[in-house]
Amino acid sequence: MSHPILEIKNLKVEFTSENSSTKAVDDICLSVHQGEIVGVVGESGSGKSVTSLSAMGLIPQPPGKIISGEILFTKKNGEIVNTVNAPSKLMQSIRGNEMSMIFQEPMTSLNPVFTCGDQVTEALILHKGMTKKQAYHETIELFRKVELPRPEIIFDQYPHQISGGQKQRVMIAMAICCAPQLLIADEPTTALDVTVQKTILELIKSIQKKTKMGVLFITHDLGVISELADSIVVMYKGKIVEQGPVQQIFNQPQHPYTKGLIACRPPLDVRYTKLPTVPDFMAINEHNEIYSKINSIPEYLTQITLTNDHRINRHKKIYNQRPLLEINNLKTFYPIKKNILGKTTQWVKAVNDVSFKVFPGETLGLIGESGCGKTTTGKSIVQLSPVTSGEIMYKGKDVLTMDKQELQAYRKEVQIIFQDPYSSLNPRMTIGKAIMEPMKVHGLLNSEDERKKRAISLLKKVGLTPNQFNNYPHQFSGGQRQRVCIARTLAMEPKFIICDESVSALDVSVQAQVLNLLNELKEEFGLTYIFISHDLSVIKYMCDKMVVMNQQGKIERYGECDEIYEDPQTNYTKSLIEAIPKI
């Protein structure tokens, strides 16, 4: 094999604060060759992104600092550059031209005050010396190459005017515009619909094959890597714990951490009583050494497999009751165009004639791509979105006809957990006060002391500690923040909870822990859920029945999860199933 395009040798990166220092990357070695896709896998905090930022020379100094090691990059002319100590002017000529990066969140990576086209032409004019006219035509061709619809229109649009998948395509066009030697893709499909994710992955692989560039693909999802990469590097707490060809890692994983990552994604062919998690597979002894807690993985998975008889008996119990919630012909339309007299002439039919029932103790899944109306349906149920027409019957009473007092009581019983826990929490309020606030608003308990005791009790219930009561949201990880939001929801003693994409942006290992927690709380408190997701594997694990919604805001399929998975019937439902990464 030829000399690698990127070779990282014994890299150590440290971040320092006033009182402490953290070793983010600890003595790692890896390489990427021409035409090769190397997948780097691990949970948040494992050092994946720090590794890629180090290669690009983008580590913020301070607080970050490369302590030791080499990062050798081979340019198109054969020159080898150590990016650790390369002059800034040299790195500016390399970044975007010879080595480029697709960042995790395209909305924050694209400049909101420039059009999508201008952001690509800028790189072409800077690195290729093109005229504005030449750069325009090249950008239009790039937009066609990444399969953006109406490229001439998108060229003049701003990032906020296009969808998440389209923004990511603009980022890919920007990354490949100068035909780089190396493409670094840092979580480029996190939180995207599974169908959009599939097209983005296929697009990256197609471009990589045509250009023979090397790709360093960073993700927390081994399912994604299994369909894309040639080899895998598994990182844990800044170290590489395992690496090798894809087939070897998946068929014969050696490290307990790798085994846990593979097992914790919800399977499609069986149901488990609980999802396996990374802590189920690994432990640390008194010598700070990692060892496997499970000798036989197949035997362990057999123990937690749910039988078909259990599912049938559960459904008999659930569906012999009266519905807790009935949605009848629900419509939620948004005006988007008015005539000169101010009369609406065009509507977005976000939810268009939707009907379903939810029974006590049931988990009903709402699934579909972005824009199908599933989140609007959830917000309409809790009266956060105005309803155009239809009925929302809760315990036999139409929510749309409730007076102010009845509506307040309803909102106490029916709660919602939002997709992004960080934006759901007030950054200036400690998480203890965030949990106590709704109790105070609804007049629950008699004093602040009682509310504080309940808040601490709820923190313990969701796997956090009383010591974290006075911490702020930024001091927690994504999974911990979602646990705080769950605790705040439970503070209202609800009967019905709508979970709106509440695990879509989490690591698969953290996702498994949160899903297990939601199921445990459901049994303990007798809760009923509507679970909104774009991922059918999560829906199939969590839910009894599912509602498949299409891009017209209508119901495509409605029935038991297992039946729909085995017999999708419609092309749209089939596409959702086929888009799920399969290990």
Q: Do the domain assignments include residue 459?
A: yes
DSSP code for 35: T
Hey, which of 49-53, 471-475, 554-558 has the most confident mean pLDDT? 554-558
Query: Structure tokens of 331?
Result: 């419509």
Domain count, the chain: 4
What integer pLDDT is reported at residue 369 of this predicted model?
Answer: 83
Query: Is residue 481 one of the residues assigned to a domain?
Result: yes
Mean pLDDT to the nearest integer, 39-45: 87
CA quadruple 348, 167, 159, 420: dihedral positive or negative? positive
If asked whether residues 285 and 334 sit together in one domain, one would say: no
Q: Is the pLDDT of residue 285 over 80?
A: no
Q: How far apart are CA 513 and CA 483, in angstroms?
A: 10
Query: Which CATH number is 508's domain given?
Result: 3.40.50.300
**Residue 199 confidence (pLDDT):** 81
pLDDT at 531: 95
The answer to whether residue 516 scores a pLDDT higher than 70 is: yes
- Assess whether pLDDT exceeds 80 at residue 466: yes
Which H or E run includes 29? strand 21-32
Task: Please say if the pLDDT value at position 276 is more than 70.
Answer: yes
pLDDT of residue 137: 93
How large is the average pLDDT for residues 370-397?
91
Which whole-number Å values give the CA distances from 322 to 297, 318, 326, 362, in the listed order?
41, 9, 10, 12
Instruction: Point out the domain boundary residue: 120, 144, 177.
Output: 177
Residue 2 has pLDDT above 70, yes or no: no
| pLDDT (0 to 100) of residue 529 | 96
Q: Quick one: pLDDT at residue 347? A: 81
Q: How confident is the model at residue 6 (pLDDT cuts 50, 70, 90)?
A: very high
For the CA atoms of 552, 557, 562, 565, the dihedral, rounded to the nearest 10 degrees, stands at -60
Q: Please indicate, yes or no, if residue 106 is contained in any of the structural domains.
A: no
336 lies in a domain?
yes
Check residue 191 and give its pLDDT.
Answer: 62
Q: Is the pLDDT of residue 329 over 70?
A: yes
With beta carbons less than 8 A apart as the criterion, state whether 5 and 181 touch: yes
pLDDT at 398 exceeding the cut of 90: yes
Lowest mean per-residue pLDDT among 138-147, 477-486, 570-579: 477-486
366, 345, 301: which is closest to 535 by C-alpha? 366
Calculate ∠ Cα 434-437-442, nearest 5°.
150
Residue 67: both structure tokens together: 């302590």
Judge whether residue 333 has pLDDT over 60. Answer: yes
- What residues make up the domain containing 283? 266-306
Task: Indicate if 339 and 442 belong to the same structural domain.
Answer: yes
Domain boundary among 157, 177, 197: 177
- Span 407-442, pLDDT tens digits: 999 999 999 998 777 778 898 999 999 999 999 988
Assess whether 40 and 162 both reside in one domain: no
- 362 with 234, same domain: the answer is no
Q: Is residue 331 part of a domain?
A: yes
Q: Within this chain, do residues 545 and 444 fall inside the same structural domain, yes or no? A: yes
Between 160 and 379, residue with greater pLDDT: 379
pLDDT at 1 over 60: no
Question: pLDDT tens digit string along 161-175?
Answer: 887 668 878 888 888
Verify that 328 and 444 share a domain, yes or no.
yes
pLDDT for res 355: 96
Please tell me whether residues 222 and 342 are part of one structural domain.
no
Residue 464 has pLDDT above 90, yes or no: no
pLDDT of residue 346: 81
The verdict on 528 and 468 lying in the same domain is yes
Check whether residue 161 and residue 73 sit in a common domain: no
Answer whether 523's CB lies under 8 Å from 538's CB.
Answer: no
Domain termination residue (choose one: 177, 206, 221): 177
> 560 - beta bridge partners?
545
Residues 283 and 240 in one domain: no
Question: Quick check: 106 pLDDT over 80?
Answer: no
What DSSP string describes 64-115?
EEEEEEEEEEE-TTS-EEETTS--HHHHHHHBTTTEEEE-S-HHHHS-TTS-
pLDDT in tens, 188-230: 877 677 777 888 888 888 888 888 889 999 988 788 888 889 9
- Does 390 share its domain with 276? no
Same domain, 124 and 170: yes
Mean pLDDT of all residues belonging to the chain: 88
pLDDT of amino acid 424: 84
